Amino acid sequence: MCVGASLVSVRAGQLEFVKVNTERVDWREAYQWLLGFEAGHSFAAFVAVLYIALNLIFAALYTLSGDSIAGIRPGSFVDAFFFSVQTLATVGYGHWYSE
């Protein structure tokens, strides 16, 4: 047993489960956190904020990359954001495409 390791003991009937190193990040906890959202507004708001944040990040990267998208005004963040929304939504590019 590791010295200084954090232990969690759970008893289920005759069995006892011991989890060690509980201070480490467990990605299943993120899944449990998502499942804990109340149906409706809070989950929808989380998805909307995540979608907009991803589009803002990609729009900034497209804008910083210079002339990487054919057909948009050079340095236009709004055009890059619209291109990012089109790309992540998979609705098609129309006359804009990545070079």
Neighbours of 93 (CB within 10 A): 13
Looking at the domain assignment, is residue 67 inside a domain? Answer: yes
Domain coverage including residue 81: 7-98
What pLDDT is stored for residue 2 in this prediction? 46
Q: What is the pLDDT of residue 53?
A: 97
28: pLDDT strictly greater than 80: no
pLDDT one-digit tens code per residue, 32-88: 777 777 776 677 888 899 999 999 999 999 888 887 788 888 888 998 898 888 888
From CA 36, how far away is CA 80, in angstroms rounded?
34
Q: Is residue 73 included in any domain, yes or no?
A: yes
Query: Quick check: 18 and 7 in contact, CB under 8 A?
Result: yes
Residue type, 48: A
pLDDT tier for residue 1 given thresholds of 50, 70 and 90: very low
Tell me, what CATH number does 70's domain have?
A: 1.10.287.70
How many distinct structural domains can be found in the chain? 1
Tell me if 1 is assigned to some domain: no
